[in-house]
Structure 1
Amino acid sequence: MSTSTISLDQLIAWLSRFRDLVTEKKSYLTELDSAIGDADHGSNMTRGMGAVVEKIGAAPSTAVDELLKSVGMTLVTSVGGAAGPLYGTLFLRMGVSAGPVTELDGAAFGAALRAGLDGVVARGKAEAGDKTMFDAIDPALDAWDAAVAGGSDIAAAASAALAAAEKGRDATEPLVARKGRASYLGERSAGHIDPGATSSTMLFQALADTVTS
């Protein structure tokens, strides 16, 4: 499906698809986190996104900023560990950037995601190569922006972003963690894919699934 905008309904479908993916991969996310973290990323993300879908279904939003801020607050209050504040901040900042609109074009959606990532960086101080969710999201946003600037539609931009996120996720495996719980392990954190980068890649998988269906 060729389209130049993402509607409010598509954003809701994106969030529902993300819930489905983290739920399906709960055990895998837990397995990754058990190697270098607290073994709770799978359960935390499943619980958080379950709460999100329940919340947005019970109280339908009429604008993008309202939807995304509701998502952010739900994640902050329902998810334990680092994932709640980080993902919550991502969506809260996205909402502020998006504003009270009912759809976003490619550039506006990219700007909202970038604002969200900036919020994550401000909270977690992560940068490229630290073995965190940043390593998947940042290259995905670069690919998204490049695709949109080159005239690609939303579906093509989402596919490009997903490919970049997957590459960034896989590149965390040999890294030594410099932020978060995994950093306590030092050299022993190498050889494991980062769980946060993995769930972040699912966010882009969910987007691609939604806008190409």
Structure 2
Amino acid sequence: MSSDALGQTELVVRTIAETAVENERYFGDLDAVVGDGDFGYSLARGFEKLLEGWDDIDRTDVGTFLKKCGMTIASRIGGTSGPIWGTAFMRAGVAAGDKKEISGEQVVAMLRSAIEGIKARGQSDVGDKTLLDALVPMTDTLEQQLQQGRSAAEALTAAAATARESAEATRDMVAKRGRAAYTGERSKGSVDAGAMAVAVIVDRISEVRSR
């Protein structure tokens, strides 16, 4: 990441927020198959609030910015998604600290911190048919690509492809966490809404960052 770490972070967060709002119906429809269908609505309303107060978010440094975003998300997104997505942003912010420049290695560390926060908050892990089933493999690919010397754009493109493949693979899983877990075997045959949301968002970030 360039020395304009805050600017790049703002671009990524804004892309996440706008993508969540734009895909409200799609994410809701995915969730309605085995859940209560409110995932898209909850996510969109929370990120709308973030965008409404966009200019007032503390931009002292990347860490502060992400933590403030996380606090807004946690308080505004309904259901279980608020604490999970909010925790992810806050943990990433803690990992970023007051750094003015952020390397690809540090981005991976921020994602790993977010993942650990999600695991702890949601009492879930890879294989439980949640957003982790896209987020973890995506982060693994990003790290591998960067270690192999790929550019940020190349690494992100590969990570987005992994996120999409991994989200699609949740179709064969039985949900063990969230409302979908109550449906047991009936949760098989449909993709997890949270995992697909991660795939759609990372795909959009990849597009925006490659321009």
TM-score by length of 2: 0.94
Alignment of 1:49-198 (within 5 A): 49-198=47-196
How far off is 1:28 after superposition? Answer: 0.9
Summarize the Cα distance change of 1:37–1:132 in structure 2 as closer, same or farther, 3 Å threshold. Answer: same
Q: Equivalents in 2 of 1:142, 1:211: separation in Å?
A: 19
C-alpha displacement of 1:65 = 0.4
SS in 1 for 2:190: coil
Check whether the contact 2:57–2:65 (CA below 8 A) recurs between aligned residues.
Answer: no
- Aligned residue type for 2:99: V
Identity of aligned residues (%): 35
1:103 deviation in Å?
3.1
Q: Is there any run of 5+ residues in structure 1 with no aligned partner, and where?
A: none
CA drift at 1:175? 1.1
Amino acid paired to 2:202: F
RMSD value over aligned CA atoms? 1.5
State the 1:54 CA deviation. Answer: 2.5
Shift of 1:14: 1.4
**1:203, distance to aligned residue in structure 2 (A):** 3.0
Count how many residue pairs are aligned between Structure 1 and Structure 2.
211
Residue number in structure 1 paired with 2:206? 208
- Which structure would you say has the larger RCO, counting Cα contacts within 8 Å and 6 or more residues apart? 1
- CA distances 1:61-117 after superposition (whole Å, capped 9, x unpaired): 131001100111011100111110100010000000011123311000110011000
Structure 2: state its 5+ residue gaps.
none
